[in-house]
Amino acid sequence: MATQAPPQWALDLTSAPTQKPKSTSIQDPPGFTAALSTKQRSGASKTPVRKTPTEEEMDTLKMKKAWELAIAPAKQLPMNAIGMYMTGNTLQIFSIFMVFTLFKTPITAILALQRVFAPYETPGTSSRLIVVKLVYILTNLVGLCLGIWKVNKMGLLPTTRSDWLAWEAERTWSERAIPRAWL
């Protein structure tokens, strides 16, 4: 048996009614898109297809993105600083965790430097990206400094004389005097 022609409903379904009824008082139901008329279609086909960006444009875009990424840690800084200030200088589990993340984030970020900027690496951008990377490292370091400041505030940095007191020795005296009664 030869293939049968598809039933009419199936044909109707594939080809939308070409003719719109004249009376347009009835609106199309929501979600229905009327097929463009040929005139319309010809007009649409006339607008040019968006041409693919050039290499240079692409690089500029990537650089923009990269800059944004480099500045991002600095944007978090004020919030972190306020948070650190509010937690106080006592050693509590909460502030210890906060300080820990404060140290962990910049360091992991710096370690993951190449991976972070890999999408923006092109032959055109690679030279310009160095500055961006440096700024990225710098902003992360500023975050790290905040952490150090906090640790110092908590009194954990051995910066004062008292921290090294245990390594300082008592003077040895070259004379020793004792009462004769103790002899």
Partner 1 sequence: MRLHAALALTACLSSGALAIFADDAGHIDYHLALVGLPKREDTFFQQPYAGSKASLLYTLSDKQVIGAVNPKDGAIVWRHSLSTSPNGTHGILRSGEDQDTIITAVGDRITAWSASDGRLAWETRFSGATVEDLEILEQEDGNTVGDVKDAVVLLNDATQGVKRLDGKTGRIKWTYQDTSGNTPFQVSTSPTHVYYISLHTSMLGASTVHVTSLSPVTGKKVDQYTLNTGNDISSRDQILFAGANSASPLLAWTDKAHSALKVNIIGTKGVSTFAAPSKETVERIILHAPNRVNSVPHFLVEYQTKTGHSAEVFHVNLVKSTISKAYSLPNLAGRGIFTTSTTDANVYFTRITSEEVSVVSSRSHGILGRWPIKSSWTLAGAYPVHGVSEVAVRSGSAHAVRSAALFSNGQWALVRNGELTWTRPEFLSGVVSAAWADLPEEETLAHELEVEGHQNVVAAYIHRVKRHIRDLEYFPAWLQALPVRILGNLVGNPSEPISGDIIEHDSFGFHKLVIVATDTGRLAALDAGSSGKIVWNIDLHQLSPGTTFEHPTLKTSRGYVELSDKGLVAPLLINVTTAGLLSAKEKAESVPVVRGQTLVFFDIVDGELKGFEGAQTNATPVWTFTPPTNERIVGWTARPLDDPVASIGKVLGDRRVLYKYLNPNLVLITTVSDSTRTASVYLLDSASGNLLHSTSHSGVDITRPIPSAISENWFSYSMTLDAAHNTASRGYELVVSELFESSIPDDRGPLGAAENSSAVGPNKGDALEPYVLSQTYHIPEEISHMTVSQTRQGITSRELLVTLPESNSIVGIPRYVIDPRRPIGRDPTAEEAAEGLTKYHPVIMFQPQWHINHKNEVFGVKDVITSPSLLESTSLVFAYGLDVFGTRLSPSFAFDMLGKGFNKVQMLLTVGALGVGVLFVAPLVRRKQINSLWTIP
Binding residues vs partner 1 (CB under 8 A): 88-90, 155, 160-163, 165-166, 168-183
CB nearer to partner 1: pick between 51 and 180: 180
- 69: which 2 tokens? 């990424």
The SS3 assignment for 123 reads coil
8 A C-beta contact, residue 141 and residue 106: yes
Q: Please count the CA atoms within 13 angstroms of the CA of 48 that sit on its side-chain side.
A: 3
CB nearer to partner 1: pick between 55 and 163: 163
Least distance between partner 1 and beta carbon 14 (Å): 45
CB nearer to partner 1: pick between 50 and 161: 161
Least distance between partner 1 and beta carbon 12 (Å): 49
Least distance between partner 1 and beta carbon 125 (Å): 48
CB nearer to partner 1: pick between 7 and 179: 179
Least distance between partner 1 and beta carbon 44 (Å): 53
Least distance between partner 1 and beta carbon 175 (Å): 4
Cα–Cα distance list, 95 to 77, 82, 155, 168 (Å): 16, 13, 13, 32
Distance CA 93, CA 113 (A): 30
Distance CA 112, CA 69 (A): 13
CB nearer to partner 1: pick between 83 and 155: 155
CB nearer to partner 1: pick between 56 and 175: 175
Cβ contacts of 65 within 8 Å, gap of 6 or more: 120
Least distance between partner 1 and beta carbon 90 (Å): 5
Neighbouring CB atoms inside 10 A of 40's CB total: 11
8 A C-beta contact, residue 151 and residue 83: no
